[in-house]
Homo-oligomer: A and B are copies of this chain.
């Protein structure tokens, strides 16, 4: 009887935590979303110079309250599910663990001193933003279209990198360290900045020949931006579903979806057009 009680209690919690159909489930999701956003805003504010020192106690308290909430959420998620390993080793399980751990590790690592490792650990909390992806439904179709065109886009980006390695070296040769192109990697960095049309302006060609080659790189970058666009667009259009079948329905087997020129049903072999 107790066990049945427990399992019922578990079932109800599972519904609240993992699903969003009941009012309680929805409230839980919205509440958690607010805590995540609050937690990220806190990390951001803490990084602003002066903030961390002035509101030390407030940040400290808020961080521990949020960490407590996340810890409880994490434990509940494990307790409530039937086979905890399916959650623990899933994408969201790992993200949930990684967004709770840093606070504990920061304590162990020595609290508030400015060692790089600790600083990095504490900023790991920013990855809590990934928890939000749980609430995005429409993203799957986007990812599918991207995944289908992944191979072609990688080949394209690879060609861009090769081009940048060569042109960056050429620019290093022409402009030289005296104009800011201090090494080949710097030249490649500049070439990527230019080809992608970002153009920071921290380094820029000074010699006429350098400016001419920079012009060629820029026009190239402006022209080839069409390539990934073309790839993804044709992938999107394909995803929309362009198989050219007509709306004929076989009078014998009710099969719909026939090729334009079909005369016989491809399903039962009878004439499509006999009435």
Q: Which of B173, B193, B231, B240 contacts A226 (CB 8 A)?
A: B231
Determine the main DSSP class of A at the interface with B: helix
Q: Contact check, A223 vs B215: say whether CB atoms are below 8 A apart.
A: no
Quick one: which of A198, A235, A261, A263 has the most chain B CB within 10 A? A198
- Flag whether A156 is at the interface (Cβ < 8 A): yes
Interface footprint category on A = 35 or more
Pick from A2-10, A21-29, A101-109, A183-191 the stretch touching chain B. Answer: A183-191
- Report chain B residues within 8 Å CB of A268: 263-264
A130 to B263, CA, bound (A): 46
What is the CB-to-nearest-CB distance from A154 to chain B, in angstroms, rounded to a whole number? 8
Q: In the complex this chain forms, how many copies of it are found?
A: 4
A234 to B231, CA, bound (A): 10
Stretch in A12-20, A60-68, A77-85, A138-146 with 4+ CB within 8 Å of B: A138-146
Residues of A within 8 A of B (CB): 40, 43-44, 47-49, 119-120, 123, 126-127, 129-130, 132-133, 136, 138-139, 141-142, 145-146, 151-153, 155-162, 165-166, 169, 172-173, 177, 182-186, 188-189, 192-202, 204, 208, 211-212, 214-215, 218-219, 221-223, 225-240, 242-248, 257-273
List the 10 closest A-B pairs by CB distance, nearest first: A246-B260, A262-B266, A264-B269, A198-B199, A201-B201, A230-B232, A196-B222, A200-B201, A47-B184, A226-B232
